[in-house]
Chain A
Amino acid sequence: MIYFDNAATTFPKPPSVTRAVMRAMERCGNPGRGGHALSMRAAEEVYACRKAAAEMFGASPERVVFTAGATHSLNMAIAACNGRDGAILISDLEHNAVVRPAYATGREVRVFSSAVSLSGKERTAAILASVASKACGAAALVTTAASNICGASMPISDLGALCRERGMLFVVDGAQAGGVIDLDMTRDCIDILCLPAHKGLYGPMGCGMMIIGEGVELPPLLSGGSGTQSRSRTMPETPPERYEAGTLPLPAIAGLKRGIQLVKRKTPDAIRRHEAGLARLASDSLQLMGARVYAPHHNGGIVIFNIDGIPSEDVSSHLDKCGICTRAGLHCAPLAHDTLGSDGAVRLSFGIYNTEAEVKEFLRSVSCI
């Protein structure tokens, strides 16, 4: 089996991650819910993961909030706009995890250009100009750090600086960037960073993080048990417990910690270069074979393509029969597909366990279509 769907979830998970999940289920109780050994052991696991994430993303451990996933985090982050007046800016590459919550606020949503047809400094300048033209009176800017359908990433540092200058809340969807792009809350002026455990951080599904910058306040989305200050009718006043109602996904958090440690050891930069190298091989070869590759000039680990006259779902189905896992369709990002001029395509998304030999096998399978 060749797995080229790492943008959906990374596979396989490192053995250290699956072992950590199993150990947590075998040895830990509910974190922050008692004083006995199993509860405290669980709480230590949670804290260790907060620390690891804080270190990776330039935050304080208590500002690392565990959620059910990046979508949950984004919903909370976007709801934070309710305390501010003004429109919400989103890029034209956004996933529905940003688009839907943004429109659900009932506020004006302004879409700025990701200038995906450009590259380098010209692209950055075009993006910033687009944002500046739409920023008047805006409350927040929400952007992906890296697209889930092509290799394009966004100039997060530049956008962060612009938002800070304009007094806009800066929310970053790090779903495809966490683990492959260096993101630092302080350096990049990120107010809220939303991440899933199960993509570039190689953790299990069912868990994510919302990392809140210093001085940023937002209302909790959920209320419920927090393990402390139980007589209070409201959630605790300080993070992370303020935003963590109910039992945490402890086994997933334990696995996430191992995933973060693995990514740290390999380094995001090396991982990105590996994935981009495979993407370049696939993209260049597909184009030589006559396939249409969208935005091929970007240097990320994702490629989308179409073969003229064959629906993307049929291509993906053929590849599946050849033992190659890809994802076809709109990838929950119709806005991004519209921006790239696609009505659905086949996506290849690489990970640390993919090899050049697998890409060549994939190309052989495509040639048989």
Chain B
Amino acid sequence: MQSIARLRFGSITMAMQAREVLSRGHIASTVVRLRPEESQAGCGYGLELPRRDLYAASAILERAGMRHTVI
């Protein structure tokens, strides 16, 4: 299993905001350009983070009302 997980967001702005929200929750992540097969409608941005933090990250983002998709 890969040690890195990716989350897709609607825009690079949302990805950057999510990165900040996660940082406040002590989860480090990196904004990345998604691969074509990872993007919903062609061209997109997301966050890359350690897979071990994925569950906690998703919970933090849900609480913050930030829509995201685990890729």
Interface residues of A (CB under 8 A from B): 31-32, 34-35, 40, 43-44, 47, 50, 61-62, 227-232, 236-238, 240-241
Contacts and interface: CB of A to CB of B under 8 A. Distances in A.
Nearest to A225: B43
Interface in B18-67: 31-33, 39-45
B41 A231 contact: yes
B17 A62 contact: yes
A33 B42 CA distance: 12
A229 B13 contact: no
B33 A35 contact: yes
Given A40-B31, A228-B44, A230-B41, 8 more contacts: A43-B31, A62-B14, A228-B45, A229-B40, A229-B42, A229-B43, A238-B11, A241-B10
B12 A35 contact: no
A43 B41 contact: no
A238 B31 contact: no
Contact of A32 (B12, B39, B42): B12
Contact of A61 (B10, B17, B43, B44): B17
Given A229-B40, A231-B41, A34 B33 contact: yes
B16 interface: yes
Given A40-B31, A61-B17, A237 B10 contact: yes
10 contacts: A34-B33, A61-B16, A227-B12, A228-B41, A228-B43, A229-B39, A229-B42, A231-B43, A237-B10, A240-B11
A61 B16 CA distance: 10
Contacts of A62: 11, 13-14, 17
B11 A47 contact: no
A238 to B, nearest CB: 5
Contacts of A238: 10-11, 14
Interface of B: 10-14, 16-17, 31-33, 39-45
Nearest to A241: B11
Contacts of A44: 16
B12 A228 contact: yes
B63 to A, nearest CB: 16
A265 B16 CA distance: 25
- By DSSP majority rule, is chain A's interface helix, strand, loop, or mixed? loop
Contacts of B32: 35
A240 B41 contact: no
A50 B17 CA distance: 11
A231 to B, nearest CB: 4
B44 A229 contact: yes
Nearest to B40: A229
User: Most chain-A Cβ atoms within 10 A of its Cβ — which of B12, B33, B45?
Assistant: B12
Given A43-B16, A229-B40, A229-B41, A236 B31 contact: no
A71 B47 CA distance: 35
A232 B10 CA distance: 12
A203 B12 CA distance: 24
B10 A47 contact: no
A241 B39 CA distance: 16
A65 to B, nearest CB: 10
Contacts of B42: 229-232
Nearest to A36: B33
